[in-house]
Amino acid sequence: MAPSMEKGSSTAPHLFSSRRRQVLQGRRATVVSAGSTLLVVIVAMVLIWQAPGGQAVREFFFSPHRAWEAFVGNPSKGIAAVGRGFFTNLWMCLVCEISVLVGGLLLATARFSRSPWLTPFRLASIAYTDFFRGIPIILVLLAVGYGLPGMQLGALSSQSPAVYACIALTLTYSAYVAEVYRAGINAVPTNQVVAARSLGLRPGAAMRFVVLPQAVRNVVPPLLNDFISLQKDTALVSVLGIVDASQAAHIYGSLTFNYAGYTVAALLFLAVTIPLTRWTDSLISKDRSRRLAYTS
Protein backbone atom coordinates (compact mmCIF):
# COMPACT_ATOMS: atom_id res chain seq x y z
CA MET A 1 0.00 0.00 0.00
CA ALA A 2 1.40 3.39 -0.97
CA PRO A 3 2.00 5.85 1.88
CA SER A 4 -0.20 8.56 0.37
CA MET A 5 -3.17 6.19 0.43
CA GLU A 6 -2.89 5.68 4.17
CA LYS A 7 -3.07 9.37 4.95
CA GLY A 8 -6.70 9.39 3.96
CA SER A 9 -8.84 12.28 2.75
CA SER A 10 -7.55 14.92 5.17
CA THR A 11 -4.73 15.87 2.78
CA ALA A 12 -6.74 15.64 -0.48
CA PRO A 13 -5.59 18.48 -2.75
CA HIS A 14 -7.95 21.31 -3.58
CA LEU A 15 -9.12 20.61 -7.17
CA PHE A 16 -11.51 23.49 -7.85
CA SER A 17 -10.71 26.56 -9.94
CA SER A 18 -10.94 29.93 -8.26
CA ARG A 19 -14.25 31.76 -8.00
CA ARG A 20 -12.91 34.40 -10.43
CA ARG A 21 -12.10 31.79 -13.09
CA GLN A 22 -15.47 30.14 -12.67
CA VAL A 23 -17.22 33.43 -13.29
CA LEU A 24 -15.02 34.21 -16.29
CA GLN A 25 -15.62 30.79 -17.78
CA GLY A 26 -19.34 30.90 -17.08
CA ARG A 27 -22.14 32.73 -18.73
CA ARG A 28 -20.58 36.09 -18.08
CA ALA A 29 -17.87 35.23 -20.67
CA THR A 30 -20.53 35.24 -23.39
CA VAL A 31 -21.76 38.65 -22.33
CA VAL A 32 -18.22 40.02 -22.19
CA SER A 33 -17.31 38.72 -25.65
CA ALA A 34 -20.50 40.11 -27.19
CA GLY A 35 -19.88 43.46 -25.53
CA SER A 36 -16.29 43.73 -26.69
CA THR A 37 -17.28 42.80 -30.26
CA LEU A 38 -19.96 45.49 -30.26
CA LEU A 39 -17.46 48.05 -28.92
CA VAL A 40 -14.95 47.33 -31.71
CA VAL A 41 -17.67 47.65 -34.38
CA ILE A 42 -18.88 50.95 -32.95
CA VAL A 43 -15.35 52.36 -32.83
CA ALA A 44 -14.80 51.35 -36.49
CA MET A 45 -18.06 52.99 -37.55
CA VAL A 46 -17.35 56.18 -35.62
CA LEU A 47 -13.93 56.36 -37.26
CA ILE A 48 -15.51 56.20 -40.73
CA TRP A 49 -18.22 58.65 -39.76
CA GLN A 50 -15.85 61.16 -38.16
CA ALA A 51 -13.14 60.98 -40.86
CA PRO A 52 -12.61 64.28 -42.74
CA GLY A 53 -14.33 62.74 -45.78
CA GLY A 54 -16.84 60.82 -43.68
CA GLN A 55 -19.78 62.86 -44.87
CA ALA A 56 -18.93 62.21 -48.52
CA VAL A 57 -18.34 58.47 -47.93
CA ARG A 58 -21.74 58.16 -46.30
CA GLU A 59 -23.39 59.96 -49.17
CA PHE A 60 -21.53 58.13 -51.96
CA PHE A 61 -21.47 54.59 -50.60
CA PHE A 62 -24.01 54.20 -47.81
CA SER A 63 -27.05 56.28 -48.69
CA PRO A 64 -30.02 53.97 -48.03
CA HIS A 65 -32.20 55.78 -50.54
CA ARG A 66 -29.56 55.45 -53.29
CA ALA A 67 -28.87 51.84 -52.35
CA TRP A 68 -32.52 50.92 -52.74
CA GLU A 69 -32.71 52.71 -56.11
CA ALA A 70 -29.64 50.81 -57.31
CA PHE A 71 -31.04 47.52 -56.02
CA VAL A 72 -34.43 47.72 -57.81
CA GLY A 73 -33.31 49.82 -60.80
CA ASN A 74 -35.25 52.50 -62.62
CA PRO A 75 -36.11 51.72 -66.24
CA SER A 76 -37.34 55.24 -66.98
CA LYS A 77 -33.87 56.62 -66.20
CA GLY A 78 -32.16 53.67 -67.92
CA ILE A 79 -30.84 52.36 -64.58
CA ALA A 80 -30.24 48.61 -64.50
CA ALA A 81 -31.16 46.83 -61.25
CA VAL A 82 -28.21 45.45 -59.27
CA GLY A 83 -30.57 42.85 -57.80
CA ARG A 84 -31.51 41.61 -61.25
CA GLY A 85 -27.86 41.58 -62.24
CA PHE A 86 -27.06 39.45 -59.22
CA PHE A 87 -29.58 36.91 -60.42
CA THR A 88 -27.34 36.52 -63.49
CA ASN A 89 -24.36 35.87 -61.16
CA LEU A 90 -26.36 33.23 -59.32
CA TRP A 91 -27.61 31.18 -62.24
CA MET A 92 -24.25 31.40 -64.01
CA CYS A 93 -22.51 30.11 -60.90
CA LEU A 94 -24.92 27.18 -60.58
CA VAL A 95 -24.72 26.19 -64.26
CA CYS A 96 -20.92 26.47 -64.28
CA GLU A 97 -20.55 24.57 -61.01
CA ILE A 98 -22.33 21.54 -62.47
CA SER A 99 -20.30 21.54 -65.69
CA VAL A 100 -17.10 22.16 -63.68
CA LEU A 101 -17.73 19.17 -61.38
CA VAL A 102 -18.23 16.91 -64.41
CA GLY A 103 -15.35 18.40 -66.44
CA GLY A 104 -12.94 18.26 -63.51
CA LEU A 105 -13.81 14.63 -62.81
CA LEU A 106 -13.24 13.66 -66.46
CA LEU A 107 -9.88 15.45 -66.47
CA ALA A 108 -8.78 13.84 -63.21
CA THR A 109 -9.74 10.30 -64.22
CA ALA A 110 -8.11 10.73 -67.64
CA ARG A 111 -4.93 11.60 -65.81
CA PHE A 112 -5.00 8.36 -63.81
CA SER A 113 -5.80 6.10 -66.75
CA ARG A 114 -3.20 3.40 -67.35
CA SER A 115 -4.45 2.09 -70.68
CA PRO A 116 -2.03 2.80 -73.55
CA TRP A 117 -5.04 3.68 -75.71
CA LEU A 118 -5.80 6.58 -73.41
CA THR A 119 -2.23 7.99 -73.45
CA PRO A 120 -3.23 11.01 -75.60
CA PHE A 121 -6.02 11.84 -73.14
CA ARG A 122 -3.67 11.51 -70.20
CA LEU A 123 -1.16 13.88 -71.81
CA ALA A 124 -3.94 16.25 -72.88
CA SER A 125 -5.28 16.33 -69.32
CA ILE A 126 -1.87 17.30 -67.93
CA ALA A 127 -1.35 19.97 -70.60
CA TYR A 128 -4.88 21.28 -70.08
CA THR A 129 -4.62 21.75 -66.33
CA ASP A 130 -1.18 23.36 -66.63
CA PHE A 131 -2.45 25.74 -69.30
CA PHE A 132 -5.72 26.88 -67.76
CA ARG A 133 -4.41 27.14 -64.23
CA GLY A 134 -1.69 29.38 -65.58
CA ILE A 135 -3.72 32.10 -67.34
CA PRO A 136 -5.75 34.84 -65.64
CA ILE A 137 -9.44 34.04 -65.94
CA ILE A 138 -10.21 37.43 -67.45
CA LEU A 139 -8.00 36.62 -70.46
CA VAL A 140 -9.83 33.32 -70.96
CA LEU A 141 -13.14 35.19 -70.84
CA LEU A 142 -11.97 37.67 -73.47
CA ALA A 143 -10.43 34.97 -75.67
CA VAL A 144 -13.59 32.84 -75.63
CA GLY A 145 -16.06 35.73 -75.71
CA TYR A 146 -14.47 37.48 -78.66
CA GLY A 147 -12.51 34.59 -80.17
CA LEU A 148 -15.24 31.98 -80.69
CA PRO A 149 -17.67 34.36 -82.47
CA GLY A 150 -14.82 35.51 -84.71
CA MET A 151 -14.00 31.95 -85.79
CA GLN A 152 -17.30 31.68 -87.71
CA LEU A 153 -17.96 28.11 -86.64
CA GLY A 154 -21.71 28.12 -87.22
CA ALA A 155 -23.72 27.52 -84.05
CA LEU A 156 -20.60 27.70 -81.90
CA SER A 157 -19.96 31.26 -83.09
CA SER A 158 -23.48 32.65 -82.74
CA GLN A 159 -24.22 32.16 -79.04
CA SER A 160 -25.06 34.84 -76.50
CA PRO A 161 -22.26 36.35 -74.38
CA ALA A 162 -23.68 34.50 -71.36
CA VAL A 163 -22.95 31.16 -73.05
CA TYR A 164 -19.36 32.20 -73.84
CA ALA A 165 -18.96 33.40 -70.27
CA CYS A 166 -20.09 30.01 -68.98
CA ILE A 167 -17.73 28.21 -71.37
CA ALA A 168 -14.80 30.33 -70.22
CA LEU A 169 -15.53 29.89 -66.51
CA THR A 170 -15.97 26.14 -67.01
CA LEU A 171 -12.69 25.86 -68.92
CA THR A 172 -10.70 27.52 -66.15
CA TYR A 173 -12.46 26.10 -63.11
CA SER A 174 -12.43 22.54 -64.47
CA ALA A 175 -8.64 22.76 -64.35
CA TYR A 176 -8.68 23.83 -60.68
CA VAL A 177 -11.27 21.25 -59.70
CA ALA A 178 -9.40 18.49 -61.57
CA GLU A 179 -6.42 19.17 -59.31
CA VAL A 180 -8.66 18.96 -56.24
CA TYR A 181 -10.01 15.59 -57.38
CA ARG A 182 -6.46 14.44 -58.14
CA ALA A 183 -5.36 15.25 -54.59
CA GLY A 184 -8.38 13.31 -53.32
CA ILE A 185 -7.55 10.29 -55.49
CA ASN A 186 -3.92 10.33 -54.37
CA ALA A 187 -5.06 10.38 -50.74
CA VAL A 188 -6.85 7.02 -51.07
CA PRO A 189 -4.42 4.38 -49.71
CA THR A 190 -2.79 2.09 -52.30
CA ASN A 191 -4.00 -0.84 -50.18
CA GLN A 192 -7.52 -0.08 -51.30
CA VAL A 193 -6.60 -0.38 -54.95
CA VAL A 194 -4.66 -3.59 -54.28
CA ALA A 195 -7.64 -5.04 -52.41
CA ALA A 196 -10.00 -4.16 -55.26
CA ARG A 197 -7.68 -5.55 -57.92
CA SER A 198 -7.00 -8.72 -55.90
CA LEU A 199 -10.75 -9.45 -56.05
CA GLY A 200 -10.53 -9.42 -59.84
CA LEU A 201 -12.02 -5.97 -60.45
CA ARG A 202 -10.88 -4.26 -63.66
CA PRO A 203 -8.88 -1.03 -63.21
CA GLY A 204 -11.88 1.05 -64.31
CA ALA A 205 -14.21 -0.69 -61.87
CA ALA A 206 -11.69 -0.32 -59.03
CA MET A 207 -11.51 3.42 -59.81
CA ARG A 208 -15.27 3.86 -60.06
CA PHE A 209 -16.46 1.77 -57.13
CA VAL A 210 -13.56 1.88 -54.69
CA VAL A 211 -11.28 4.88 -55.29
CA LEU A 212 -13.55 7.68 -56.51
CA PRO A 213 -16.25 7.37 -53.82
CA GLN A 214 -13.55 7.69 -51.15
CA ALA A 215 -11.72 10.44 -53.05
CA VAL A 216 -14.82 12.61 -53.45
CA ARG A 217 -15.63 12.32 -49.73
CA ASN A 218 -12.09 13.49 -49.01
CA VAL A 219 -12.39 16.64 -51.09
CA VAL A 220 -15.87 18.03 -50.42
CA PRO A 221 -14.48 20.95 -48.33
CA PRO A 222 -11.89 22.09 -50.93
CA LEU A 223 -14.51 21.68 -53.68
CA LEU A 224 -16.80 24.04 -51.78
CA ASN A 225 -13.90 26.49 -51.52
CA ASP A 226 -13.60 26.52 -55.30
CA PHE A 227 -17.36 26.93 -55.52
CA ILE A 228 -17.13 30.11 -53.44
CA SER A 229 -14.33 31.46 -55.68
CA LEU A 230 -16.40 30.65 -58.75
CA GLN A 231 -19.37 32.51 -57.30
CA LYS A 232 -17.18 35.63 -56.88
CA ASP A 233 -15.51 35.28 -60.27
CA THR A 234 -18.86 35.42 -62.04
CA ALA A 235 -18.47 39.19 -61.53
CA LEU A 236 -15.76 39.11 -64.23
CA VAL A 237 -18.27 38.24 -66.97
CA SER A 238 -19.06 41.95 -67.20
CA VAL A 239 -16.05 42.27 -69.55
CA LEU A 240 -18.25 40.56 -72.16
CA GLY A 241 -20.95 43.22 -71.75
CA ILE A 242 -23.16 41.04 -69.57
CA VAL A 243 -25.06 43.12 -67.01
CA ASP A 244 -24.32 41.23 -63.79
CA ALA A 245 -24.46 42.80 -60.33
CA SER A 246 -21.08 44.53 -60.61
CA GLN A 247 -21.81 45.83 -64.10
CA ALA A 248 -25.23 47.11 -63.01
CA ALA A 249 -23.56 48.87 -60.09
CA HIS A 250 -21.04 50.39 -62.51
CA ILE A 251 -23.84 51.65 -64.76
CA TYR A 252 -25.65 53.10 -61.76
CA GLY A 253 -22.47 54.87 -60.72
CA SER A 254 -21.82 56.41 -64.10
CA LEU A 255 -25.41 57.62 -64.47
CA THR A 256 -25.90 59.06 -60.99
CA PHE A 257 -22.33 59.70 -59.75
CA ASN A 258 -23.19 57.62 -56.70
CA TYR A 259 -21.50 54.37 -55.68
CA ALA A 260 -24.18 52.89 -53.44
CA GLY A 261 -24.68 50.26 -56.19
CA TYR A 262 -21.22 48.82 -55.46
CA THR A 263 -22.12 48.50 -51.80
CA VAL A 264 -25.34 46.72 -52.72
CA ALA A 265 -23.47 44.34 -55.03
CA ALA A 266 -20.88 43.60 -52.34
CA LEU A 267 -23.59 42.90 -49.77
CA LEU A 268 -25.41 40.56 -52.18
CA PHE A 269 -22.22 38.56 -52.79
CA LEU A 270 -21.53 38.40 -49.05
CA ALA A 271 -25.10 37.22 -48.41
CA VAL A 272 -24.26 34.11 -50.45
CA THR A 273 -20.55 33.56 -49.76
CA ILE A 274 -20.61 33.97 -45.97
CA PRO A 275 -23.19 31.21 -45.33
CA LEU A 276 -21.33 29.02 -47.84
CA THR A 277 -18.04 29.67 -46.06
CA ARG A 278 -19.53 28.89 -42.65
CA TRP A 279 -21.02 25.68 -44.03
CA THR A 280 -17.68 24.67 -45.57
CA ASP A 281 -15.90 25.32 -42.27
CA SER A 282 -18.39 23.21 -40.32
CA LEU A 283 -17.98 20.38 -42.85
CA ILE A 284 -14.19 20.60 -42.49
CA SER A 285 -14.35 20.39 -38.71
CA LYS A 286 -16.86 17.51 -38.82
CA ASP A 287 -14.59 15.70 -41.25
CA ARG A 288 -11.63 16.32 -38.93
CA SER A 289 -13.37 14.85 -35.90
CA ARG A 290 -14.53 11.87 -37.97
CA ARG A 291 -10.94 11.15 -39.04
CA LEU A 292 -9.64 11.54 -35.50
CA ALA A 293 -12.32 9.11 -34.32
CA TYR A 294 -11.02 6.63 -36.91
CA THR A 295 -7.48 6.62 -35.61
CA SER A 296 -8.41 6.18 -31.95
Indicate the residue among 188 and 245 with the shorter CB distance to other proteins: 188
Indicate the residue among 80 and 211 with the shorter CB distance to other proteins: 211
Question: Shortest approach of other proteins to residue 243 CB, angstroms?
Answer: 45
Question: Shortest approach of other proteins to residue 103 CB, angstroms?
Answer: 24
Indicate the residue among 59 and 287 with the shorter CB distance to other proteins: 287
Dihedral sign for Cα atoms in the order 34, 38, 39, 40: positive
Indicate the residue among 77 and 291 with the shorter CB distance to other proteins: 291
Indicate the residue among 149 and 203 with the shorter CB distance to other proteins: 203
Indicate the residue among 40 and 195 with the shorter CB distance to other proteins: 195
Q: Report the 10 Å Cβ neighbour count for 254.
A: 9
3-state SS class at 115: coil
Question: Shortest approach of other proteins to residue 205 CB, angstroms?
Answer: 5
Indicate the residue among 135 and 205 with the shorter CB distance to other proteins: 205
Q: Do the Cβ atoms of 171 and 128 come closer than 8 Å?
A: no
Distance, CA of 141 to CA of 132 (rounded, Å): 12
- Work out the end-to-end distance of the chain between its first and last CA atoms, rounded to an integer number of angstroms: 34
Please write down the HEC assignment for all residues of 65-82: HHHHHHHHCEHHHCECCH
Question: Shortest approach of other proteins to residue 193 CB, angstroms?
Answer: 10
Question: Shortest approach of other proteins to residue 199 CB, angstroms?
Answer: 4
Q: What angle do CA 51, 57, 59 make, to 5 degrees?
A: 130
Q: Which amino acid is at 160?
A: S
Question: Shortest approach of other proteins to residue 190 CB, angstroms?
Answer: 10
**Residue among 234, 244, 242 nearest 87 (CA):** 244
Contact residues: other proteins, CB under 8 A:
191-192, 194-202, 205, 209-210, 213-214, 217, 294
Q: What angle do CA 282, 283, 285 make, to 5 degrees?
A: 65
Distance, CA of 244 to CA of 137 (rounded, Å): 17
Question: Shortest approach of other proteins to residue 226 CB, angstroms?
Answer: 22
Dihedral sign for Cα atoms in the order 281, 283, 288, 289: positive
**List of residues 6+ apart from 149 with CB closer than 8 A:** 157, 158, 159, 164
Main-chain phi, psi angles of 74, to 5 degrees: -150, 90
Indicate the residue among 203 and 253 with the shorter CB distance to other proteins: 203
Question: Shortest approach of other proteins to residue 198 CB, angstroms?
Answer: 5
